Amino acid sequence: MELSPQIEDYLKNIYQLQTRYGRVPTTALAERLAITAASVTGMVRKLAGLGLVDHEPYHGVRLTASGESLALQIVRAHRLWELYLVQALEVPWDQAHVEAEQLEHALSQGLADRLAEVLGHPTADPHGHPIPSRNGDVARRGGVPLDHLPAGEAGVVVQIRDDTPELLRYLGKLGIYPGEHVAVLDVAPFEGPLRVQIGDRTEVLGRRVAGHVMVHSEATLHERQRV
């Protein structure tokens, strides 16, 4: 099936919204796509006609099986490009997203497979978001926001959520990437900032920022020291 870039964007964004919030309201989609709700209604009716979404008027949309399968191909294309740009072309990770946004619509199945091969069949992009496999399998990566970790607990960064270029540049400067080990040394009272150990350095992180850093709790700092 040959889809317009617009339709591809709809599918991708419906997918991303529904994975987090379930059935997607028209307005949420409209906001993400930066178009009016009226336009979304129109397009969504068309997508329903194509059998790609299930649209209950006034109650949002949800991808059908075939819609989801197509959405996953776009997500795959996007994330493969992001990783490729960062890894092979050394594009700064905060810029990769914008470029990938264009490139994702210009990636054939064959070339996608080639990228995946060159990258060693990766399962996550530079932000830690899972890269769907060719047949649409997605590894859920989960994690909890860093600011939910109690003082003294350690973990591994698994993904950066809701990232913006500015946030990514900041985190990059701090050396906070997926795969890095972090430990919460202490938390200032009254929902205050966190003192965090990253590698051999100590940084102070605001809660807003920490909330975007998803970690897998690994072991308490105490336990790690015993090892």
Task: Among 12, 13, 17, 26, indicate the residue that binds DNA (CB under 7 A).
Answer: 26
Contacts of residue 154, Cβ cutoff 8 Å, sequence gap at least 6:
181, 182, 183, 184, 217, 218, 219, 220, 221, 224
Q: Which does 138 bind (CB under 5 to 8 A by kind): DNA, a second copy, none?
A: none
Q: Which does 106 bind (CB under 5 to 8 A by kind): a second copy, DNA, none?
A: a second copy
- Show contacts with a second copy in window 85-104 (CB under 8 A): 85, 88-91, 95, 98-99, 102-103
H-helix segments, 22-130: 26-33, 37-49, 65-88, 93-103, 109-118
- Show contacts with a second copy in window 97-136 (CB under 8 A): 98-99, 102-103, 105-108, 110-111, 114-115, 118
> Each residue of 82-104: b (16+ CB within 10 Å) or e?
bbbbbbeeebebbebbeebeebb
Q: Which does 65 bind (CB under 5 to 8 A by kind): DNA, a second copy, none?
A: none
DSSP state of 151: T
- Indicate the residue among 34 and 227 with the shorter CB distance to DNA: 34
- Show contacts with DNA in window 60-79 (CB under 7 A): 60
Helix axes 65-88, 93-103, angle to 10 degrees: 130
d(CA 201, CA 203) in angstroms, rounded, equals 7
* 3-state class (DSSP) for residue 213: strand
Distance, first Cα to last Cα, the chain: 55
Find the shortest distance in angstroms from Cβ 110 to a second copy: 8
Q: Binding string to a second copy for residues 166 to 205, with x set by CB under 8 A, is what?
A: ----------------------------------------
Residue 204 lies near DNA (rule: CB under 7 A): no
Residue whose token pair is 């990783």:
83
Asked if 194 contacts 154 with a C-beta cutoff of 8 angstroms, the reply is: no
Q: Binding string to DNA for residues 30 to 59, with x set by CB under 7 A, is what?
A: ---xxxxxxxxxxxxxx--------x-xxx
User: Residue numbers of the site for a second copy (CB under 8 A)?
Assistant: 85, 88-91, 95, 98-99, 102-103, 105-108, 110-111, 114-115, 118
